[in-house]
Amino acid sequence: MEPPPAARPSVSVSAADTGRRVSVRRRLPSGWLGDVVGVLEFWRDGVLGIRRRDGSVTEVTEASLVAGRVVPEAAPGTRATRRRA
């Protein structure tokens, strides 16, 4: 059974979104799916570079993309509010 059209994942991120915060889902070599959230640093030669909040850059091949979208900036202090005393 096919999912309804609204439930189908789509990639709505492009090279024009460089510098914006994005969330992408990719197919890993194992067949599993993995998510990457961060600032799109570059998109060249079929590879996206996404800078995560820890400062590392994850490279994602365009061919492995399953879904993607631009997301709002993280609210200031969100990470600190998750810590427990």
Q: Which CATH number covers residue 46?
A: 2.30.30.100
Q: Look at residue 55 and tell me whether its pLDDT is greater than 80.
A: yes
Q: Is residue 19 part of a domain?
A: yes
Q: Is residue 82 part of a domain?
A: no
Strand order in the sheet with 33-44: 57-61, 47-51, 33-44, 21-27, 65-70
Q: Is residue 36 part of a domain?
A: yes
Q: Is residue 78 part of a domain?
A: no
Q: Is residue 81 part of a domain?
A: no
pLDDT band at 7 (very low <50, low <70, confident <90, very high): low
pLDDT tens digits, 30-51: 999 999 999 999 999 999 999 9
Predicted TM-score (pTM) above 0.85: no
Hey, how many other C-beta atoms are within 10 angstroms of the C-beta on 24? 23
Q: Is residue 25 part of a domain?
A: yes
The answer to whether 21 touches 73, Cβ cutoff 8 Å, is: yes
What's the total number of domains in the chain? 1
Exposure b/e, 29-52, CB count within 10 A at least 16 = b: eeeeeeebebbbeebeeeebbbbe
Residue 37 to residue 45: CA distance in whole angstroms:
20
Range of the domain at 52: 6-73
Q: Is residue 52 part of a domain?
A: yes
